[in-house]
Amino acid sequence: MTVFGASPVVAAVNGSAQSMTAALWAANEALLREAELLLLMAYGADGAPFGNRSFPLDVWLEAKEVITEEVLREFRAECESVVPEVKPTTAAVDSGPIAALTEISATARLLAIGAPTGEVAGLFSGVSASRLSREVSCPVVVVREGHQSGPVVVGVDGSTLSEEALAWAFEEAAIRKTSLVALHAWHDGDIAGLFTGEGALPFPGESLRETENRVLGQRLAGWRKRYLQVPVDQVVVRDKPRRRLLDLSEQAQLVVVGGRGRGGFAGLAFGSTSHALIHHAKCPVMVVRATGRSAE
């Protein structure tokens, strides 16, 4: 696959209304970041051996390619109409979507995909958002219609991965000129969800909530200094993070979470929290993985 510029924002396109929403979100994100926008559509099948093509496979692929090019022209025109400052590049590839997006994710800033409409989070037929979020090497944003205003919300559990989520969340809040809500949540029996390490032991007479709130403040201190323009509201609750993140998504313009943290956000890209956010959040959800790559 050809590499399109340096770290583009990539939108996965499949012709659906959901992927159009994702493409327009990605166009605005590219504008905010002064980045290139790539509209990518993969019309092959993951795992299909296309090395030895024979009739009718060639005919089928040729027909799919024609349809794909038509869809990409439509999406490019709509993005240029809504966000004229951004001039999208398009790419049609005959591999499967997971293979295509996994490859482009090595150089992409982030991937935007349409929100699922059923139990299986379909990107292109049969491809799940949760599978994609664990296989690509850049953040995945599951996009649905949401607020143009409101804070960015980030889930924090104290892991190394949640530091990466914080980096992306602060950057997103800064470029959107909005505030940040940093949520730390744990529930009964969820000892792994508590902050650990230096400073996490309670002071004499300090409640568990007070300890967690203090440590969260310490974890946020460096980011606050770096992003002085971003107002921060830290929220510490004894509750399941899934429920609080869903509640906060009703007024947020973006929710950012680590893809495999520990404690309250453990296994996010694979378990119930992921499923709930991908299917029921009221705004776009960014799933960040441990890649070591900067948000900028």
Q: Any idea what the CATH number is for the domain that residue 110 is in?
A: 3.40.50.620
CA separation (Å) from 13 to 25, 71, 77, 225, 230?
12, 8, 13, 38, 33
Residue 2: inside a domain = no
pLDDT of residue 227: 97
Which of the listed residues 143, 162, 180 is the one where a domain comes to its end?
A: 143
Domain with 180 in it: 152-288
Q: Using the predicted structure, report yes or no on whether residue 51 has a pLDDT greater than 70.
A: no
Residue 3: inside a domain = no
- Percentage of the chain lying above the pLDDT 90 cut: 40
The count of other CB atoms within 10 Å of the CB of residue 197 is 9
* Lowest-pLDDT choice from 28-37, 198-207, 259-268, 274-283: 259-268
Q: Which of 23-32, 241-250, 257-266 is modeled with the greatest confidence? A: 23-32
CA separation (Å) from 291 to 127, 277, 288?
22, 21, 8
Return the structure tokens found at 162: 């949640």
pTM for the model? 0.83
Average pLDDT of span 80-107: 91
117 and 178 in a common domain:
no
pLDDT of residue 130: 59
pLDDT of residue 267: 40
Number of structural domains (the chain) is: 2
Which of the listed residues 126, 143, 160 is the one where a domain comes to its end?
A: 143
Rounded CA separation 254/283 (Å): 6
